[in-house]
Amino acid sequence: MRMLSKRNALTYAIALLLILSLNFILPRLMPGDPLMTIYGREALVQMSPQLQAELVHRFSLDQTLWQQLGAYFAALFRGDLGYSYYYNAPVFQVILGRLPWTLLLVGLSLALSTVLGVVLGIESGWRRGTRTDRSMLAGLMALNGFPDFFVGIVLLLVFGVILGVLPLAGAMTPYSGLSGGALVLDVLKHLALPVTSLTLAHLASGYLLTRNTMITVLKEPYMLTARAKGLSQRLLKYRHAGRNSMLPVVTMTGIWLGRLVTGTLFVEIVFSFPGLGYLTYEALLFRDYAVIQGVLLLVAVLVLAANFLVDLSYSRLDPRVSYAR
């Protein structure tokens, strides 16, 4: 097992540094009283003077920039991301409440779109140049062109508004008092459309990458070796070509995760799904700046962590990697 490479560690450090400096510097670059620029005019109006004084003290907002920086990091260590005036609660707590919903949505769609994309890519690449391959390619590329929020809107209109078979909004039926199996079913019903939208919108990435790799892999001499061994088509397709074609997909999942966050944001808004995306949207609407900053930091950390995991698993999939480095 390979440890975190120096190169990747540096990448993660730079990414984190960029986000932190953005969070710290951006509001302080704005003209005006730091408390106001960090929390926004709307927030100040609603905050009690005690709370305002408390925040100024907590983040050393009346001190020099360096002391503010020290206080900022000290707070980060305590898990203190500031205060949300709109939810009237610490930002960290607000985000933590929404995080599971987003993880569920992103996890399901990432898994579904990757697995489906890889399988379709392998099948399509195997049939390269045939009519099936060409129509799959055109179809998925077209699908790739549809923005995820528009896919969501269309699904919402078709299944929610016209057919009325699936719920329009939320993550579960409010005040229904459901429990056990019925609750799970209710949540799945609410998840169906958002997950489908995201999966459809991201299917093409995995598909296109797998298909392209598949086409080059099929020309490799070891495929001729495998055919000469008289192996069945299934083995040729999946054990020999497919395994090799999957490799770049794995490298990309980390990056796709970042992109999926964008998609989730839009899709959550379309379906009023109570995850981080919808939270960000609400925060934007109500100018609850502290929440946006917190979401940015937390999502960045999560994406970096996921990338790290992908890095680790890659060396297990491709023996050449651990050897080469």
Q: What are 84's two structure tokens?
A: 């949300």
Smallest distance from another protein to CB 34, Å = 13
Q: Residue 70 corresponds to which amino acid?
A: G
Helix (H) or strand (E) holding 224: helix 221-228
Question: Which lies closer to another protein via its Cβ, residue 177 or residue 230?
Answer: 230
Distance CA 260, CA 251 (A): 15
Question: Which lies closer to another protein via its Cβ, residue 90 or residue 258?
Answer: 258
Smallest distance from another protein to CB 193, Å = 13
Residue closest to 251 by CA, chosen among 102, 114, 79: 114
Smallest distance from another protein to CB 86, Å = 13
Residue closest to 199 by CA, chosen among 248, 141, 144, 272: 144
C-beta atoms surrounding 313 within 10 Å: 12
Question: Which lies closer to another protein via its Cβ, residue 249 or residue 265?
Answer: 265
Question: Which lies closer to another protein via its Cβ, residue 37 or residue 178?
Answer: 37
CA distances from 158 to 180, 189, 270 (A): 29, 15, 14
Smallest distance from another protein to CB 233, Å = 9
* Alpha helices by DSSP H, 229-288: 233-234, 243-270, 276-285
Smallest distance from another protein to CB 194, Å = 15
Question: Which lies closer to another protein via its Cβ, residue 195 or residue 261?
Answer: 261
Question: Which lies closer to another protein via its Cβ, residue 96 or residue 182?
Answer: 96
Distance CA 77, CA 297 (A): 13
- Given the structure tokens 């651990």, which residue do they identify? 322
Distance CA 141, CA 153 (A): 19
Smallest distance from another protein to CB 148, Å = 8
CA 242, 246, 252 angle in degrees (round to 5)? 165
Smallest distance from another protein to CB 181, Å = 31
Distance CA 159, CA 162 (A): 6
Question: Which lies closer to another protein via its Cβ, residue 72 or residue 146?
Answer: 146
